[in-house]
Structure 1
Amino acid sequence: MSSRPEESSSSELIAVYDRAGREVGAADRATVYREGRWHASAGVLVRSLDGERVYVHRRTETKLVFAGMHDCLAGGVVQPGETPKATAIRELAEELGVVATAPPRPLAHLAWDGRWADAPMRCHLYAYELRSDGPIHHQADEVADGWWWTDAQLRMHLADPEWPFVPDTRVLVDDLLS
C-alpha cells in the first residue's frame, strides 16, 4: 500500500470519501479503519500477455488489514487528491515492481460496505487490468509470495469459503475474471 511497513503507515493520511464516491477530506489510516469511514482503494489485476494467467499473491503477516491473505489485485488506498487510476499505477509499481507502459484498463467499481475485525469496513473499490509477463519484484513489506494461476485455478481455490482470500476482492472476482 505504501512504501513503508504497514505498522508505521497507520498514521498515513488517506482520502476519506462519502457513500456516493466523492472525496470529502482526509484522515489517518488507523482512524479510517477504526471508525469504519468510507475511503477508496484501487487495485490492478495483472494478467499475462497471452491472457491465460493471473498473478496471485499472499500478503505479509504485518499488513494492518487482511494480513496473510491471498489476493489477485495489487493495490492500496487512495491518498488525498489522488485519482483511483493513479493509485492503481503507483501501487502496482510499489507492490509488484511492475511499471505500467500503458494505462490499466478499468474493470469494476464497487462500494463495499462490509466488516473486518468486528468493525465496519466501507470502501469504494476500483479495479483495473494490466497485461504483463513481468518481471515481478515483490516489496518485502507487502507481499510474502506470489505465482501465476489460470482463472480456473483461482476459481477452484475461491470455491472454498475458508481459503484466506481478501474479502473485498472476493466480492469483485466475477467482474475480474474472464
Structure 2
Amino acid sequence: MSNPGEELLDVVDEHDRVLRVAPRSEIYRDGLTHRCAMVLVRDEEGRIFTHRRTPTKLFAPGAYDLFVGGVVGTGESYADAAVREAEEELGVRGIRTEPLFRFLFRYQDSPGAWFCDVHQARWTGPVAPQVEEVAWHGWLTEAEVAERLGGAGGWEFVPDGREAYRRYLAHRG
C-alpha cells in the first residue's frame, strides 16, 4: 500500500477480540488497540539482528530495534504477519518463525495499546534489509545488546521492543 496510514487493521479489545476494522492513521490518532507481530532473529553464531528504524517511520522514527515486525493486517494471523514482516524487513524468502508469547503493551500515559505477538527465528543466509524500514543494521551478541540497552550512553530503543526483549529474557529463563 502506498500510504501506510491508510492500511486497514483490526481494532481489538483487551481480550484480543476483533471489534472492527479501521485505517492505521485512525488507530494511531485515537490510540485504538491493535495487533503487532515481532520476530527476534539470530544468525548461525547466535547474534541478534539489530537495526535502526528510518526517520520516516510513523512510530519511534530513528530508534533502534531488536525485532523485525510490524502491524498485523486485517484478517491476517499473527504467524502470517510475523513471516511477512520478517521477510520484508530482512529482504529474504523462506524464513520460519516460532511463536513464543503474547502481551498487551501500553505506551506510557497515552491511550495507545497493542498486542505484541513475539516470535523467534534463525537466519543463516545474507540479508538485504528494506531501505524504507531499516537505516542501519548489524548482528550483535547478547553482551553487546545489554550494553546498548544500558542507561547512560545507551542507544534509544523502541519501547515495545525493549519490553518484548525483557520478557523474552524472562521467558527463556
TM-score when normalising by structure 2: 0.90
Structure-2 residue corresponding to 1:156: 147
Instruction: Give the partner amino acid of 1:107.
Output: L
Q: CA deviation at 1:119?
A: 3.7
Instruction: Give the letter for the 1:55 counterpart.
Output: F
Q: Give deviations 1:65-108, integer Å, cap 9, x for gaps.
A: 11000001110101111011100100011111132343x11122
Measured in 2, the distance between the counterparts of 1:62 and 1:140 equals: 11
* Residue 85 (structure 1) aligns with: 79
Tell me the equivalent position of 2:163: 171
Tell whether the 8 Å contact from 1:43 to 1:75 is kept in structure 2 after alignment: yes
SS of residue matched to 1:120 = coil
8 Å CA contact 1:45, 1:73 repeated in 2: yes
Match of 2:18 among 23, 38, 41: 23
Q: What is the CA-CA distance between 1:176 and the residue it aligns to?
A: 2.7
C-alpha contact (below 8 Å) 2:87/2:95 kept by paired residues: no
Gaps of 5+ in 2: none
- 2:107 aligns to what SS in structure 1? strand
Distance 1:134 1:25 in 2: 39
| Residues 101 and 78 of structure 1, relative CA distance in 2, 3 Å threshold | closer
Letter matched to residue 160 of structure 1: G
Equivalent residue letter for 2:124: D
CA contact (8 A) 1:45 1:176 kept: no
Bigger mean CA offset, 16-25 vs 38-47: 16-25
Identity across aligned pairs (percent)? 37
Q: Deviations over 1:112-156 (max 9, x none)?
A: 1223xx742200001101111231111111111100000111011
Give distance in 2, aligned partners of 1:121 and 1:84.
19
Alignment-derived partner of residue 51 in structure 2: 57
What does residue 143 of structure 1 align with?
A: 134
CA-atom RMSD in angstroms: 1.7
> Paired residue for 1:111, among 104, 114, 117?
104
| Cα distance in 1, alignment partners of residues 31 and 9 from structure 2 | 13
Aligned to 2:7: 12
Q: Counterparts of 1:90 and 1:15 in 2: how far apart (Å)?
A: 17
> Quick check: 2:47–2:141 contact (8 Å CA) kept in 1?
yes
1:100 aligns with 2:124: no
CA offsets 1:27-84 (integer angstroms, 9 cap, x no match): 011110111100010011111124x210000000000111000001110101111011
Partner secondary structure for residue 39 of structure 2: strand
CA contact (8 A) 1:44 1:75 kept: yes
Distance in 1 separating the partners of 2:112 and 2:125: 32
